[in-house]
Amino acid sequence: MTAASHRPPALDKLLDSGALPALIRQHGRAPVRAAARRALDDWRAQAPTMPFDATAFEAACQAALDAAAQPALRPVFNLTGTVLHTNLGRAVMAPEAIEAVVAVMRGAANLEYDLASGARGERDDHLEGLLRELTGAQAATAVNNNAAAVLLVLAALADRREVPVSRGELVEIGGAFRIPDIMRRAGARLVEVGTTNRTHLRDYESAIGPRTALVMKVHASNYAIQGFTASVPVAELAALCRARGLPFVEDLGSGSLVDLTRWGLPAEPTPQQSLAAGAHLVTFSGDKLLGGPQAGLIVGDKALVQKIRRHPLKRALRLDKMTIAALEATLRLYRDPDRLAQRLPVLRLLTRGQAELTAQAGRLVPAVAAALGERAQVQVRPCRSQIGSGSLPVDRLPSACIAIGAPAGTRRAGRLPERLAEALRALPMPVIGRIEDGELRLDLRCLDGDAAEAAFVAQLPLLAAARL
């Protein structure tokens, strides 16, 4: 037998035969041709002495095309127990926000156009009224995220001048946002005040000099300093700044627009409280507790906001129409605080009670157990969720999870939690849990609503094939 009889048919012939015409209709000729060429190359490299197997060849083409057709950015089930998970996209948005985004994406919008006069308008106009109404600020503007808001405030108001900040507030958020770095990038000079655990008003007093541009306070979002501590209340710092004729800026980080204790959640400072206590400017995120899209909001004194708007960085950091649409629709929900917990997904998820979550876990355990069979033990377990994104770092919310561990009678779980986590991540809609105490835990706080629950259950049978 000669090697020639093992040769596959020519590429063009293959493209016209078997399952390939159907794949071409689905994916287009160029991608199928490229996949077929790679499958042929692989066959030549791996099995050149075997007869050509058309079925295996078609399956290889199909698998490669399916993999390439998967979007890189995909929806996942966030069962980590962290509601505002930065790596998983933070806030889940309200239907009102989603509809508003879709509407402006479909066609033209009055993004910078004033419908009353027919003249040029401002992007900020769509948000400023609502932000003023909700926070009590004189003026407001918005940029791409809160890091950008802080950068812009410093660049516009503190160029080559000094900004005193307490040593206890020199935060790093998510690895890339560090107050000292942002200061440098903005061209401002950081003046460290006080000590890590205690900073007093007199420390600020002695730090303020002729080169001071403003005083900044940064909310300790993702950590807590406990024990022998002291920090200066916003009202006292604001009064000091007023007496010295300096702007006082507070970076609140999350900055909820409502008092969360109303729903039994831990207290988080609001921009309205900060402004009422005398802050000239407050910055906060759009996609943390506010529950909207990624954005950075700057609210406060009119003359300062105007100065910020005129800085060239504002143009570089500006919001697009989709974000403005989502943010406006989200802010509108705050006009009716009584219905907020039903309408704003972030608040709804944070206020789900442990009894409801335990019942849900009980409902789902049989389906998970059936999918895993003898390979694992599946139980309902109480657990604690986190708010996340640096919001309220030490507070935990009582929750319930599906806990998956070694089968009964086996003492050690071995690699089971990691293998299971991998299998769950490989599902069509990946499921992200957390590994704790030798178990994989799926916190149900963010699996909200019948549709989400049904979608979660529907793909469980695919786990039957997973090697655990």
Residues that bind ligand PLP (CB under 6 A): 145-147, 150, 171, 173, 177, 218-219, 221, 251, 253-254, 285, 296, 390
The Cα-based distances of 300 to 109, 246, 295, 305, 404 in angstroms read 28, 14, 17, 7, 50
Q: Are 305 and 255 in contact (CB under 8 A)?
A: no
Q: Is 320 helix (H, G, I), strand (E, B) or coil?
A: coil
Nearer to ligand PLP, 298 or 401 (CB): 298
The residue sitting closest to ligand PLP, measured at its beta carbon, is 253
Nearer to ligand PLP, 58 or 287 (CB): 287
- Shortest Å, Cβ 389 to ligand PLP: 6
How far is it, in rounded angstroms, from Cα 251 to Cα 17? 64
- Shortest Å, Cβ 297 to ligand PLP: 9
* Number of alpha carbons in the 13 Å side-chain half-sphere of residue 216: 33
Nearer to ligand PLP, 282 or 444 (CB): 282
Nearer to ligand PLP, 147 or 333 (CB): 147
- Shortest Å, Cβ 148 to ligand PLP: 7
Nearer to ligand PLP, 146 or 273 (CB): 146
How far is it, in rounded angstroms, from Cα 349 to Cα 391? 14
Say which residue the tokens 């469980």 belong to: 460
- Shortest Å, Cβ 207 to ligand PLP: 20
- Shortest Å, Cβ 192 to ligand PLP: 17
- Shortest Å, Cβ 222 to ligand PLP: 7
Q: Are 278 and 271 in contact (CB under 8 A)?
A: no
Coarse DSSP helix, strand, coil percentages of the chain, rounded to the nearest 5 percent: 45, 20, 35
Task: Give 285's strand partners.
Answer: 296
- Shortest Å, Cβ 239 to ligand PLP: 23
**Which run of H or of E encompasses 142?**
strand 139-143
Query: What angle is formed at CA 224 by the lines to CA 182 and CA 206, rounded to 5 degrees?
Result: 60
- Shortest Å, Cβ 313 to ligand PLP: 15
Q: Are 237 and 169 in contact (CB under 8 A)?
A: no
Nearer to ligand PLP, 92 or 424 (CB): 92
Nearer to ligand PLP, 296 or 433 (CB): 296
Nearer to ligand PLP, 173 or 275 (CB): 173
- Shortest Å, Cβ 314 to ligand PLP: 16
- Shortest Å, Cβ 56 to ligand PLP: 48
**Which run of H or of E encompasses 177?**
strand 177-178
How far is it, in rounded angstroms, from Cα 320 to Cα 317? 10
The Cα-based distances of 237 to 23, 166, 191 in angstroms read 67, 11, 16
Nearer to ligand PLP, 124 or 169 (CB): 169
How far is it, in rounded angstroms, from Cα 289 to Cα 275? 18
Tokens of 208: 């303020």
- Shortest Å, Cβ 173 to ligand PLP: 4
Say which residue the tokens 């990946």 belong to: 430
Q: Are 65 and 35 in contact (CB under 8 A)?
A: yes
Q: Residue length, the chain?
A: 468
Q: What is the bridge-based pairing of β-strands 248-253 and 215-218?
A: parallel
How far is it, in rounded angstroms, from Cα 322 to Cα 100? 8
Q: Is 312 helix (H, G, I), strand (E, B) or coil?
A: helix
Q: Are 385 and 266 in contact (CB under 8 A)?
A: no
Nearer to ligand PLP, 147 or 442 (CB): 147
Nearer to ligand PLP, 147 or 207 (CB): 147
